Amino acid sequence: MRRYLFILAASMLLGIGLATPLRAQNVDYGAQRKMLKSQQKLEWHALMVQQQARKQSWKGRQVSGAERALANHQMERERRDMKMRQKDQMQDLKDRQRNLQEMQRAYH
C-alpha cells in the first residue's frame, strides 16, 4: 500500500513539475499523452502488486468464503474505479488540448 501511494504521489509531483514549464512554451501533445499513459501504467501496476500481496496474505491463514468474496469484490471495485479515473484523466487531457488549439486558432 505504501509503495502504491509513493508511486502515485511521485507521479503527481512529476506531472505538476513538468506541467508548469509546458504552459509557457508550445505544448507537445504527444509527449503529454505519453507521459500520462506511462503514469497510468505505473498506477495500474502498483494496484495489481498491492492486490496480489493481499491475496498472498490469505495463504498462511484460514479465510472464510464470505470474507474472501468481500475482499475480491472490493478489489474489483478498486480496479473499476481506477479504470474510470484514468479514462477521465485522458479525456480531460484531450479536452484541454482541444481548448488550447481553439484558443490558438482564435488568436491567429
The predicted-structure confidence for 51-73, as pLDDT tens digits, reads as follows 999 999 999 889 899 999 999 99
pTM: 0.68
The alpha carbon of 50 is separated from its chain's Cα centroid by a whole number of angstroms, namely: 14
Per-residue CA distances from 63 to 1, 5, 28, 60, 66 (Å):
21, 27, 51, 9, 8
Place of cell 484541454: 96
Q: Give the Cα separation of 100 and 108 in Å (integer).
A: 12
Give the pLDDT confidence of 38-54 residue by residue, as tens digits: 999 999 999 999 999 99
Give the pLDDT confidence of 79-103 residue by residue, as tens digits: 999 999 999 999 999 999 999 889 8
Smallest Cα–Cα separation from 7: which of 51, 52, 38, 53? 38
Q: Give the Cα separation of 106 and 42 in Å (integer).
A: 37
